[in-house]
Structure 1
Amino acid sequence: MPEIHAVTQLAGRSADEAWAIVKDARTFALDADHVVAIRELPSTNERHRSSEWTVLLNGSEVTWVQDEAAGPGLQLRFTQTAGDLEELTGEWRVEQTPAGARISLALAFELGIDGLAPLLDPIWAQSFHAHADALLRAVAAQAPADGK
């Protein structure tokens, strides 16, 4: 299963400030041009929720529902429960460094087209890497929660 890893550093920002943004994709993801829609689905637990994403990847709309779980610490893990891909999992992680907050996003995906995987996986990996980079740029562009 192809894996994507993307990282950004938010100079002068605390991990808690960055986490306040990362834990709620609706605050930043729609600022990424390729994200068409995000819809939070009903949930009964603050640390566990689901959302439906629609994004443009490789010129096509791709939709999935992801189950999200926060913790331990400043991390958010997600797993596709329904959608256009065979499998999609990932993890956001926020860490404090001397220079500020470090945010990483890891994704793993499976298209479900076994015979064409050697041909399609590199193309989709490139598209998912662009997706991850755009999401990290959108997080970095958000104003700090305290308005500074």
Structure 2
Amino acid sequence: MRHVVLHAITDGREPAAVYRSISDFRRYPELTDTVHEVHVDTLPDGSAVSDWTVEFRGGLMRWRERDTFAPETHTLTFEQLSGDFLVFEGSWRCVPHERGTLIVFSASFDLGIPTLADILDPVAESTLRTIIARIVEGLVGAEVTDECAAAART
């Protein structure tokens, strides 16, 4: 299974505001051309089930995930229920930073093709990083840089 961690910093924005933007999946298609469609059904316990269609290497990937929100810690977690990945799970976290908010996206995935994993997984990892970078730029104007990874370690 592959793991992706991506850091971005938003200048002058509070974690609660950034978290609200990241948690508002319905707006993703308006704010970034990478996400084609998101349908969200909120469940009675406050979690959600969302259906995604995302541009992926010239094609479209689709999946359904369960999303669990923790506004008190500005964290949300997701776990694929069905779709194009064998496994896709992870989290978003928004933490205070001297410049504004540090966004930490973390995910684990498995494409489910073991014989081609050495070839496909690095390409999928790179593509996922690019997609998430475009999403955070479109949603909150955050830019992913090497500085962000160093900031996350401090």
The interval holding the TM-score normalised by the smaller chain is 0.7 to 0.9
1:24 corresponds in structure 2 to: 24
Show the counterpart of 1:45.
Answer: 45
CA contact (8 A) 2:94 2:101 kept: yes
Distance 2:28 2:121 in 1: 27
User: Matched residues in 2 for 1:36 and 1:99: separation?
Assistant: 31
Q: Which amino acid aligns with 2:99?
A: A
Q: Within 2, Cα distance between the matches of 1:56 and 1:28?
A: 12
Q: Identity across aligned pairs (percent)?
A: 23
Q: Decide which structure has greater helix share.
A: 2
Given that residues 28 and 35 in structure 2 are in contact (C-alpha distance below 8 angstroms), is that contact kept between their aligned partners in structure 1?
no
User: Corresponding residue for 1:145?
Assistant: none
Cα deviation, 1:51-108, whole Å, max 9, x if unaligned, reads 0000111111110001011226110000000101101011000001221111111121
TM-score (norm 1): 0.88
Aligned to 2:78: 78
- Are the counterparts in 2 of residues 30 and 37 from structure 1 also a CA contact under 8 Å? no
What is the Cα-based RMSD across aligned positions, in Å?
A: 1.6
Q: 1:88 maps to what in 2?
A: 88
Cα distance in 2 for partners of 1:128, 1:90 equals: 12
1:97 aligns with 2:97: yes
Per-residue CA deviations over 1:84-143 (Å, capped at 9, x if unaligned) read: 11010110000012211111111211000011111111111111111111111122239x
How far apart in 2 are the matches of 1:23 and 1:36? 17
Partners of 2:86 and 2:30 lie apart in 1 by 24
Cα distance in 2, alignment partners of residues 39 and 45 from structure 1: 18
Q: In structure 2, list runs of 5 or more residues that go unmatched.
A: 143-154
Gaps of 5+ in 1: 143-148
3-state SS of paired residue (2:13): coil
Aligned equivalents of 1:30 and 1:82: distance in 2?
A: 24
1:105 and 1:135 map into 2 onto residues whose CA distance is 11
1:54 and 1:64 in contact (8 A); partners too: yes
